[in-house]
Amino acid sequence: MLDFLTELAQEAGALALSHFGRLSADAVESKGHLDLVTVADRAVERHVVARLQARYPDDGIFGEEGSAVDGTSGRVWVIDPIDGTFNFVRGGAQWAVSIGLYEAGRPVLGVVHAPVMGMTLAGGASAWPTLNAKALAPLSSYDQRKASVGVGLGRAVPEADRLAMLRLLMCDARISFRCCNSATISMLEVATGEVDGYVGYGESSWDVMAAYPILVALGAGSTLDWSTTPLDAKLRFAIGKPGLLEAIAGLNHAG
């Protein structure tokens, strides 16, 4: 299964690259302030859905660009065809194809493919995580002396909550933070050790479904309780190295 998913994510990345840097003005639409969708997003999702349905016809599908299939197997493929569309439109490298498997009420397997960055992250509960087919090391323990996290600040999250999150990170926990406008890329950076964790306010399940089980397999802790979190929920959560959650325990994940 993982070999097929890796191949599919790389196919999808190649399709996205065929549009990268070539989008006309009418190929980009706005779904909200700084929230874009392109012909590439839709083409990639169609391709991924078609391949998944041919391979796993009994499985459900839940995609960012509207794909919704009720399966009978109890498994659901959760797809973000291009996570980081704003970066994609601007010509940046920080975007990725994200394909994750949700089963028995939790994320279990995923592949993240970032074509411009030349990185393919794969793995989950049943397959040790790899980066470009090489096994990753387990996450090291959190070290406050050089702490850094990625952050995601959804536009629908109240301003007071966003400011409170940043204040806690900067002033209370004294953690450096960065925002790259892609939860998938931020979580990939946790897997590679570039940052210690990710704090997301206002994410959707398709933003995190592929990378989440990979990080858990590497030893990450998380505040998310998937048993009480529907697939269409807006997420507020933190995930990261052992010890990080204790350092940021004052964060408010309600809302």
Query: Which residues are documented as binding site for Mg(2+)?
Result: 64, 80, 82-83, 207
Q: How many CA atoms lie within 13 A of 236 on its CB side?
A: 15
CB 126 within 8 A of CB 217: no
CB atoms within 10 A of CB 210: 34
Q: How many CA atoms lie within 13 A of 49 on its CB side?
A: 21
CA separation for the pair 80, 98 (Å, rounded):
5
In 97-124, which positions are buried (b, 16+ CB within 10 angstroms) versus exposed (e)? bbbbbbbeebbbbbbbbbbbeebbbbbb
- Residue ranges for the known binding site are 64, 80, 82-83, 207
